[in-house]
Amino acid sequence: MLRAMSERVTVEPIGKVRVSAAGQTVAETTRGYVVHEAGLPDRYYVPREDVRAELSDGTGAGTCPWKGKWKHLDVRISDNRIANGAWTYYEPTETAAPVRDFVAFYEGKLEIQAG
- 44-88 pLDDT, tens digit per residue, is 999 999 999 999 999 999 999 999 999 999 999 999 999 999 999
What does residue 112 show for φ and ψ, rounded to 5 degrees?
A: -125, 125
Number of domains present in the structure of the chain: 1
Which domain, by its residues, includes 96? Answer: 4-114
Where do the DSSP E strands lie in the chain?
A: 4-5, 9-13, 17-21, 24-29, 33-37, 43-46, 54-64, 68-77, 80-92, 103-105, 111-114
Predicted TM-score of the model (pTM):
0.92
Distance CA 22, CA 17 (A): 17
Distance CA 89, CA 103 (A): 8
CATH number at residue 17: 2.170.150.40
